[in-house]
A and B are shown apart, each in its own frame.
Chain A
Amino acid sequence: MVVPVAILFFIFHTIPFLQGIFYSFTNWRGYGDWEFVGLKNYLHMFQDADILNSYLFTFKFAIISTILVNVIGLFLAIGLNAKIKFQRFLKAVYFLPYMLGTLIIGFIFNFIFAHLVPEFGIGAGIEALSVNILGTEYAWLGIVIVTVWQSLAFTTLIYLSGLQTVDQDIYEAADLDGASGFTLFRKITFPLLAPFFTINMVLSAKGFLMAFDQIVAMTNGGPGTSTTSISLLIYKKGFTGGQFAYQSANSVVLFLVVVIISIVQLRILEKREANMG
């Protein structure tokens, strides 16, 4: 089974990827004639305000979302791991958002932010909630809320499986030593979860740096360009803006950025795991 999958992967993933790198050294607009321009596209990127703004937004969005998803996910996992009633049912409920398509979630929240929240805000007399957040300068917060809500499921699942691996004897021993509550979490649970923490950090950071679907569905990059992520900019300008080659260069840079960030995260966090072990 490995060989055919590798062939398919090569045809549908590796070849287009190499094509993209190739075109990033040309001035191709997506149609018509083209010639080689060397590194011109890459150099031009650094003076392009659109690209700069999209990187700033994407990093802000990715950092905040990563922190929120991991903190909340960890607590949810600990809660769901405790001896509570309806444990299975609750696990299923918390996992539900993961099953839905991001686009659909985006459209549903569009409705919630446009109608339900303002109605509640007006009724309760809360000025801040009386308008659609997606039309304000805080539109990015709306996107963070939806993204975190959806990503929590997967993060929580990984932490839960991590908690299942922790031997109960350790807790009994800790209990004898008089550790409880937060101390127990800080000294025992969290260190034992270190590898799972690493996976979650890397996966969520990677996912949020490439955010696209929910933004298309909710704001399409607006108001203005305040929520235009890097992927959305590549899509918009690359296909409809006649900047195919130029945005291919942007894609290559985004790829390198994601790879470097992931490697750095792995290095730091794995070192941490070793220290904790």
Chain B
Amino acid sequence: MKSLKLKGVLAIGFSLLLLSGCSSKDSSDKVTIEVFNNKSENQQIMKTFIAEYEEKNPNVHVVFSSPPDAGTVLRTRLVKNDIPNIISYGGDITYTELANVGMLEDLSKENFAGNIVPAYKEMTIDLQQEKDKLYGIPYATNASGVIYNQELFAKYNVEIPKTWDEFIAVCELFEKEGITPIEATYKDAWTLSSLFNPMAGILANDKLMTDRKTGKQKLADGWVEPMEQVSEVMKHTQKDAMGTGYADGVQAFAKGKAAMLINGTWAIPEVQKANKDMKVSLFALPASNDVAKNKVTSGVDVMFMIGKDTKNQKESKDFINFLLEKEQAQRYVDDQFAFSAQQGIKQTDPALTQVSPMIEAGKVNDFIDHFLPNGYDMAALLSEFALEQNKAPENTTKNINNTLKKMDKAYDAANIE
């Protein structure tokens, strides 16, 4: 018995030794920097860039981590005070938090902060409290909108809708022809946000989000019309919209089962993966009947930040500089169907000809959910509304009022301070 115990203790001690002695010898003379990335879609191209950079700079070793559910992983790492050197992340509420609790280095004085497209620089500064600093360098941006099947549009001579009424008319036209107008994927609740963001961005008063913060306005004051539009769109989807997930919906759309898919630029490569020969393009969802008011909903999809007080900042900045070089920036937007937040980089892909000019002209709105407090589950609230609508479409007005009440209540409760 005694010998067993001893063996056990030895085994444990030995395994702990193994765990601690894990640093490999060959990289000891190299500088290691870690890039933490939150997008699953851009892993391939990021890895390519890293390999090229390491070839040019043999003294630097870049560790790439891109875990699923990256937001959660990042927060759990912050809990342990384990901040990555470079954080490559979207411009949303996570950035707001990191910037405001002092987890990031100020990059406003760096020379690479000088080449950002003004609209996106403003968007980034809007997200942070201190207006004279800049904690993230916007790199690539996306656009939310309506992905459409060009062949079906051509076959029935459908013009790209410029107003809300025209958009609904297009839906009705396809319905008459026996084609599902919109393939909806509400089982993945976040796709409801893709629908709601442009509507709320275009129709609600620009001041709504800041006024909501100060308590001057309620969400219910500005979101009635967008909610009505959500319920309108729900009438023109396939039957089992609530039970269709994003992946299945993309597959169905790629098979030509529906004319439109309301999502974002990031979904185009997914459609093309499912069907190489399909001709798809994207137009901005025209939520307003006043053409001048219709903008593209576009947000910062990837920005680079540097963790506060992390080691090897010189190398980290040099790597960011490498990514921002014209050649890499161009390759990135071509590979990802993205738009660049760096001046002088054009997105010329035929699938994006509808929105590229609008974005270059700065006719953009940021995503509404980038301004909502963390822990505010917009998608779940919209999904609950969709469920109620499915059960009792005749009570639309009541459902909208109930949902808006819940939305305001949830906003107040989102962060218990």
Contacts and interface: CB of A to CB of B under 8 A. Distances in A.
Interface string A58-70: 0000000000000
Contacts of B103: 31-32
Contacts of A243: 375, 415-416
A132 B242 contact: yes
B9 A131 contact: no
B5 A134 contact: no
Contacts of B8: 1, 3-4
A220 B246 CA distance: 13
Interface stretch (A161-169, A223-231, A265-273): A223-231
A133 B76 CA distance: 34
B187 interface: yes
A239 B387 CA distance: 26
B387 to A, nearest CB: 4
Contacts of B413: 48
Interface in A7-42: 7-8, 27, 30-32
A164 to B, nearest CB: 32
A3 B240 CA distance: 56
Contact of A114 (B75, B78, B248, B374): B248
Given A4-B8, A131-B239, A240 B75 contact: yes
A195 interface: no
Interface residues of B, number: 44
Interface in B64-82: 71-72, 75-76, 78-79
Nearest to B409: A49
B11 interface: yes
Given A118-B243, A131-B242, A225-B384, 8 more contacts: A131-B239, A132-B242, A135-B186, A223-B384, A224-B384, A240-B374, A242-B97, A243-B375
Contact of A242 (B248, B381, B415): B415
Contacts of A94: none
Contacts of B383: 222-224
Interface in A102-136: 110, 113-115, 118, 130-136
B244 interface: yes
Nearest to B189: A222
B403 to A, nearest CB: 10
B71 A135 contact: no
13 contacts: A1-B5, A1-B8, A27-B417, A135-B242, A135-B243, A222-B380, A224-B385, A225-B380, A237-B375, A239-B75, A240-B374, A242-B374, A242-B415
